[in-house]
Chain A
């Protein structure tokens, strides 16, 4: 099966490419240019009508949503052991990923995408101004409750580490207090030593 990942450098979720790298699974990338508004254009609407990245084109159609794409890579590459075995550990992994997608990512989006939820310039400014605070709270939560050791699952690499890594690449830009989270900083440094992350960085998908 050929895999084609539609992504945008610097949008952290595009780094879901780390998953096929971990699985040593070849894939192509197609860059969606946000500066030119390509994500909202008619051509990309045929790929992902939600107008977002990432999207993964497979032989069986296009998949969207970072969590679904990550799980798909794990399902199609079982030998890569990207998920734990026990149901409880699996639920912990998914708990972290849902938290990242539905709370932390959403907090971040209030910096520049406030127009999704409000119209007046004053509201948009108000939202943007609160982002350092919400992202610092998110970082504190992730460090205290999402990291169960050096990795999300303790000392067992999983999809949740990929997701946490990609979301945390924003923290430094969103919150001036990121230095206060040494366990998260150590997690990020460890991730940077993985060949998968180096490959995605070399491909220019991380800023």
Chain B
């Protein structure tokens, strides 16, 4: 498998899941500074011009929520997803919130050109990011994170996703120190071999 990624992006969630699953993968770095993600060559990999993309036997897959479940299914013995239907639904609820609300809030800092055309609008969007990311942290701490992990004691792929987004918080103007529950979660994640491996590979 080849994972197309850029350091510090949401692609890190997939890298952590691959490490947790103990699957071999080649990390292919896309140079965001050189806008490689928007170039013609990468459009052959992912026409959306985003990371992550995962090349597997049978094709190229994108979208973090899809990749995380795919990886969990490839390594059932690693128990990266809960067995119970309700817990699975809770896990997917958190993952969908992260992808469609919290990640999107963050994207308004630097990617305003996706949704508006005027510099004044970009500035306005950027200024609101600390507020929207704070609201997302409040919500996650109340409803999304049972602690220490998303589903409580059991680790799951939702933790790979939440961890990656939380590495953006300081840059988004949210102090992790204001959220002791998130701090405990982040410390538990930093202690995992998977996160250490991804850090050692320079992906964070």
B65 contacts the other chain (CB 8 A): yes
Given the complex of chains A and B, what is the CA–CA distance between A31 and B167 in angstroms? 38
Q: In the bound complex, do residue A123 and residue B120 qualify as a contact, i.e. CB atoms below 8 Å apart?
A: yes
Stretch touching chain A among B1-9, B28-36, B55-63, B179-187 = B55-63
If A65-B100, A75-B85 touch, whether A116 touches B61 (CB-CB below 8 Å) is no
- Which chain A residue shows the least CB distance to B127? A119
Given A75-B88, A123-B116: A106 and B104 interface contact (C-beta under 8 Å): yes
Complex contact B70–A87 (CB within 8 A)? yes
Contacts of B114 in A (CB 8 A): 107, 134
Name the B residues within 8 Å of A119 (CB-CB): 124, 127-128
Q: A87-B74, A123-B120 are in contact. Are A76 and B65 (CB under 8 A)?
A: no
Asked if B124 and A120 make an inter-chain contact with CB atoms under 8 angstroms apart, the answer reads yes
Contact of B86 among A60, A92, A116, A141 (CB under 8 A): A60
Check if A94 sits within 8 Å of B66, measured CB to CB.
yes
CB of B115, distance to nearest CB on chain A (Å)? 5
- Selecting from A14-22, A32-40, A66-74, A174-182, the interface stretch reads A66-74
**Residues from chain A with Cβ under 8 Å of B63 in the complex:** 94-95, 98-99, 102
- Which residues of chain A from 103 to 156 have a CB within 8 Å of any chain B CB? 103, 105-107, 110, 116-120, 122-123, 126-127, 129-130, 134, 141, 144-145
In the complex, which of the residues B47, B96, B99 contacts A141, with contact meaning CB atoms closer than 8 Å? B47
- Partner of A64 from the list B65, B93, B103 (CB cut-off 8 Å) is B93
Q: Which 5 A-B pairs have the closest CB atoms?
A: A94-B66, A98-B63, A65-B96, A123-B121, A68-B92
Interface size in chain B (residues, C-beta < 8 A): 49
B97 at the binding interface (Cβ < 8 Å): yes
Q: A50 near B: Cβ within 8 Å?
A: yes
Chain A CB within 8 A of B48 CB = yes
CB proximity of A183 to chain B, nearest CB, Å: 16
Contact: A98 with B66, CB < 8 Å? Answer: yes
| Residues of A within 8 A of B (CB-CB), count | 49
Which of A68, A76, A106 has most chain B Cβ within 10 Å? A68
> Do B88 and A91 touch (CB < 8 A)?
no
**CB atoms of A67 and B65 under 8 A apart:** yes
Are A90 and B69 neighbours in the complex by a CB distance under 8 Å? yes
Q: Is B45 an interface residue (CB 8 A)?
A: no
Closest chain A residue to B143, Cβ basis = A49
B73 within 8 A of A: yes
